[in-house]
Chain A
Amino acid sequence: MGKEKRQIVIPGETIVSGNEFLPGDGVYRDGADVVAGRYGIADVTEKHVRVVPISGAYYPRRGNTIIGTIVDITFNGWLIDFGGAQNAFLPVSEVPRYINKNEMREFLDFGESVIVKVWDVKSRGVDVSMKMRGFGKIDGGMIISVGPHKVPRIIGKEGSMIKLIKGATGCDVTVGQNGKVWISGKDSDGEIATKKIIEFIAENITLVGLTEKVENFIKNMGFKSNKVEIIKENTDEDSVEGDKE
């Protein structure tokens, strides 16, 4: 991510002037000016200008990991509500095993939750897949909602924050870019503790040196904040990427 110029811009505000700049997401060109087309942080990387959202609804992007709920079953797939403008579609062909079309409810029923990957974003909706490792049906644990703009902080730099939580509580934590977090552990005490830690991060997102404060918070809860790398492999490698393209 470029660090040349980062500032909050409002719609209609000129970010930079000059024909050499390329308008990207959330940006439009008006004569020589490159103008913000939405509210967010202006990011000028070399000649590429874009606006990174800091608030508002979740807009899916290709490659995102999302957590959602089955709201409808059609003849060739499932519709998933993930908190976006439209529902996501999971075709039968994008699940990791053969499904008899008459018995789709056996595999995924109404109200069940899934972790899926965004495969394609079209104006009509979102196509998702669960064919890769780490994606699939959610069984047990709990899902909490933190909002899409807090996700990068909960994941931390290269997953550091997640590793910290996992190391301390022994719970598995999967973060969806749509602002939902799945916590799954051996017992509900550990899950509740993990939930408290994540809520603490979500509330204190603006603090500087958040990692240290989270470490202290974990210590006060009676956990050892051991920075041991977890042996069990991360199930959400793909979600560890904040808001890169």
Chain B
Amino acid sequence: MDKGLYTKREDGRKMAEVRPMNAKVGIVPSADGSASFETGNTKAIAVVRGPRTLHPQHMQNAQTGILRVSYGMMPFSVSDRIRPGPNRRSEEISKVSEWALSSVIDLREFPNTVVDVFIQIPQADAGTRVAGLNAAALALAHAGIPMKEMISAIGVGKIDKTLVVDLDKYEDSEYHDGEGSTDIPVVVTSRTKEIALLQLDGKISIPEFKETIEMAKKACGDILKVQMDALKNVTEEQDE
């Protein structure tokens, strides 16, 4: 089979290798839960507030609490300044992140309340929505929100004819040779290994697509380890 043009990654990683990761919880002490998650040069922070009474009142649900996610990139996160405030892209990512996180959390204990998740990207190098989701899952766990399981997120894709994991900015948006690049963010749950979010724009064949999903599931296993370490190594109170 034709190997295509992209035979070697520009940063020297293996095709299925995730960028170096770093995760931390409790970065905002005044919040109910908070976390940061970094992959390579992409950094995400997530802060959770709530459950708290939801206003306006007409949005309240008497059967369950609701989740509200807000994603945003900081103006200085990329080399061109981003105009602060909501835009089409950030609204979309907020919404899909909300759906992905809703599938694992359970707020039935807290009717008429809201749990707010704020995701901010201080530094972007592609894969910000998956980094944001990894941070948000950590922050929700840290906030003690009832969750069936954790989620881990990864971007997989195809560059020309090569399947890769965790695309960086160059691979995601600056590589245009051959067939160009396709990016698929995938969210995998920790226990049942189900898919909580999958987005795709670009072209990919069905066998290749199936293969990328397997690669994503494998990479999410590694991410989950990083998330677990972050949550388990907190030096919070433990009565001896």
Contacts and interface: CB of A to CB of B under 8 A. Distances in A.
Contacts of B53: 85-87
Nearest to A25: B146
Interface in A2-46: 6, 8, 10-13, 26, 28, 30, 35, 37-41
**What bracket does the count of chain B residues touching chain A fall in?**
35 or more
B85 to A, nearest CB: 28
A166 interface: no
B91 interface: no
Interface string A204-221: 011010000000000000
A243 B111 CA distance: 24
Given A56-B142, A86-B113, A37 B147 contact: yes
Interface stretch (A89-97, A146-154, A181-189, A233-241): A146-154
Contacts of A28: 148
Interface of A: 6, 8, 10-13, 26, 28, 30, 35, 37-41, 53-57, 59, 85-87, 123-124, 149-150, 152-153, 205-206, 208, 242
19 contacts: A10-B227, A11-B150, A12-B190, A12-B191, A26-B146, A35-B149, A35-B191, A38-B144, A53-B144, A55-B234, A55-B236, A56-B33, A56-B143, A57-B51, A85-B50, A85-B113, A87-B53, A123-B110, A208-B240
Given A40-B144, A57-B51, 20 more contacts: A11-B104, A11-B150, A12-B147, A26-B146, A35-B149, A35-B191, A38-B144, A39-B231, A54-B237, A55-B142, A56-B145, A59-B144, A85-B52, A87-B53, A123-B110, A150-B237, A152-B239, A205-B236, A205-B237, A206-B236
